[in-house]
Amino acid sequence: MSSGLKALLQRDLTLAFRNRGELTNPLVFFLMVIAMVPLGVSPESKVLANLAAGMIWVVALLATLLSLDSLFRNDFDDGSLEQILISPHPLYFIVLVKVFVHWLVTGLPLALISPLLGVMLFLPDAGFVPLCLSLLMGTAVLSLIGAIGAALTVALRKGGLLLSLIIMPLYVPVLIFGASVVRTAIDGFPVAGELAVLGAFLAMAIVLAPIAAAGALRISVNG
């Protein structure tokens, strides 16, 4: 079992790095939208510092949503998804591997460049580490939940917008706790409790989301 999954991991990572353009798109989007905030709201540092935590989180959520459509799309189009489905490996782990690669190439970079965006929006010093930590865990939950939406809409030609519509309400708890980790830290309170809740979301999403996504994939492929 593990050799098959390892091969899948290698294949997906290779595919991701051969398509470097697609790899950086969510990051550029993240950067551009954040650059729009001072232009649209106000360049004043006080106003931006207030908005920073929530804004960075909302944009990270949108960037993840935009990148999700391609999670199963290419495999579906060239037929390899069908081959993966009939392989002897449990679909649960296959989905988990694919989501892990997706997080590695979108969520992780988003979390890593978030301090830069924090500087652009005058995020108070106390917020930087919690922002990174909450995004690291939070984007993994976003990828896992989003995989369900991607699996449900993969058979549709224009799935992108629909995917966002059906998944966004499910992102609310992650957004609430993710943004509040940063805000609590800025206010000078301990954030361990809220990070633990995010961790709980992550644990639950790892257990449950691939089951739903696997079921959805079967429906999408077999009709």
Partner 1 sequence: MAWQWFYRMGSPRWFYEKTDRWIPWLALVTALLLGTGFVWALGFAPADAKQGNSYRIMYLHVPAAFLALAGYYVMAIAGAIGLIWKMKLSDMVMKAAAPIGAALTFLVLVTGAIWGKPTWGTWWVWDARNTSMLLLLFLYLGVMALQNAYQHQGTADRASAILALVGTVNIPIIYKSVDWWYTLHQPATLKLTSESTIHVSMLYPLFIMIAGFYCFYALVLIFYTRLEIVQRERRTQWVSALVEGAK
Interface positions with partner 1 (CB under 8 A): 148, 152-153, 155-156, 159, 162, 165-170, 172-173, 176-177, 180, 201, 208, 212, 215-216, 219-220, 223
Q: Which is nearer to partner 1, 117 or 137 (CB)?
A: 137
| CA dihedral sign, ordered 175, 180, 181, 185 | positive
In degrees and rounded to multiples of 5, residue 190 shows phi and psi of -70, 145
90 conformational bin, left if phi > 0, alpha if psi -120 to 50, beta if neither: beta
Output 139 or 164, the one with its CB closest to partner 1. Answer: 164
Q: How far is the CB of 11 from partner 1 (least distance, A)?
A: 27
What Rg, from alpha-carbon coordinates, does the chain have? 18
In whole angstroms, what is the distance from residue 155 CA to residue 219 CA? 9
One-letter amino acid identity for 39?
A: L
Angle, nearest 10°, between helix axes 70-77 and 91-102? 120
Q: Which is nearer to partner 1, 36 or 208 (CB)?
A: 208
**Residue 158 Cβ vs partner 1, minimum distance, rounded to whole Å:** 8
The residue among 48 and 167 lying less far from partner 1, judged by its C-beta, is 167
The answer to whether 4 and 91 are in contact (CB under 8 A) is: no
Q: What is the largest CA-CA distance in the chain?
A: 58
Q: Which is nearer to partner 1, 41 or 156 (CB)?
A: 156
We find the least distance from the C-beta atom of residue 203 to partner 1, in angstroms, to be: 13
Minimal distance in Å, beta carbon 62 to partner 1? 16
- The nearest distance, CB 47 to partner 1, in angstroms, is 19
